[in-house]
Amino acid sequence: MGRNAAAVLASIVGLVMVLTAFARPLEFLGTAVVDWFNVLAAIAFVLGGANLLKMNLLKISARDAGWGYSAVTVSVFLITIGVGLLKVGAHPDPLHPDVALSGDKEAVGGAFWWLYEYAMSPITSTLFALLAFYVASAAFRAFRAKNTAAILLLGTAFVVLLGRVYVGVLLTSWIPADNAWVSWLRLENLSGIIMGVFNNAGTRAMMIGIAIGIAATSLKILVGLDRSYLGSSD
């Protein structure tokens, strides 16, 4: 009974959102649904944070492998929440100077801003930098010229890569840039053509396929044929 009620509720909400996109008098219903979604999302964030604490604290108490990383995770999590809730270092709002917590926690110079600017941002940059090595390793294995398709992939990759760096631009700098008949042969221009024409064509085809898949899945959910979002019935 509970799963049926949840499926009916999901169908009603989905139909409301579809109708509000085409019927302007029903826009207020869409706004109400979005507000409820924001409330549920906030609750989900709280539950997610509580689950993160629970799982990592259990790992620390059991001294499982990697419990030190869990200790760092819990410490940073609690520090960030404390800094954000207490607005440490945030200046009071000019309109309410007597209210200590009226300032913006993300204002430049505050502790929350410092954590993001000097901790979160550098860590993210480091992870992306490490990802570049994994991509290079995968590309080395994938771009082996074993057949015609691999040769085309390898050649296209080299043209795009060389067209994005100074060395590639220098290699074809002898080709006149003001001659429309031959300027496209310059590596930077050829790279732009590949990314702007061929790559965009493939990307748009993929996006159209994804859109059709989303429409089909949404229709199955609306009519109650797909209830996988409700989890297992056990």
Identify whether 137 is part of a domain. Answer: no
Among candidate residues 73, 93, 108, the one where a domain is terminated = 73
Domain count for the chain: 2
Q: At what angle do helices 148-163 and 121-142 cross, to 10 degrees?
A: 140
Q: Is residue 6 part of a domain?
A: yes
C-alpha 104/C-alpha 60 separation (Å) is 35
Q: What pLDDT is attached to residue 212?
A: 94
Q: Which of 13, 42, 73 is the last residue of a domain?
A: 73
Count of alpha carbons within 13 angstroms of residue 190, beta-carbon side: 22
Residue 100 lies in a domain: no
Instruction: Give residue 131's pLDDT.
Output: 84
Task: Per residue of the chain (234 residues), give pLDDT as tens.
Answer: 567 777 888 888 888 888 888 888 878 888 888 898 899 899 999 999 999 999 999 999 988 888 999 999 999 999 988 888 887 777 776 666 676 666 677 677 778 888 888 888 898 888 888 887 887 777 777 666 677 777 787 788 888 888 888 888 888 888 888 887 888 888 888 888 898 888 899 999 999 999 999 889 888 888 877 777 676 655
Amino acid at 98: D
pLDDT score recorded for residue 57: 93
Asked if the structure places residue 17 within a domain, the reply is yes
Does the residue 21 lie in any domain?
yes
- Spatial distance between the Cα atoms of 224 and 7, rounded to a whole number of angstroms: 6
CA distances from 95 to 37, 40, 46, 58, 99 (A): 31, 32, 31, 45, 9
Listed in sequence order, the DSSP H helices in the chain are 2-20, 27-62, 67-86, 111-115, 121-142, 148-163, 166-171, 187-193, 199-222
Residue 161 counted as domain residue:
yes
Q: Which amino acid is at 175?
A: I
CB 14 within 8 A of CB 218: yes
Q: State which of 29, 45, 73 marks the end of a domain.
A: 73
Distance CA 128, CA 139 (A): 16
| 3-class SS of residue 178 | coil
Range of the domain at 160: 143-234
Q: How far apart are CA 137 and CA 15, in angstroms?
A: 47
Q: How confident is the model at residue 47, as a pLDDT?
A: 93
Q: Kindly state whether residue 106 falls inside one of the protein's structural domains.
A: no
Residue 27 covered by a domain:
yes
Per the confidence metrics, is the pTM higher than 0.75? no
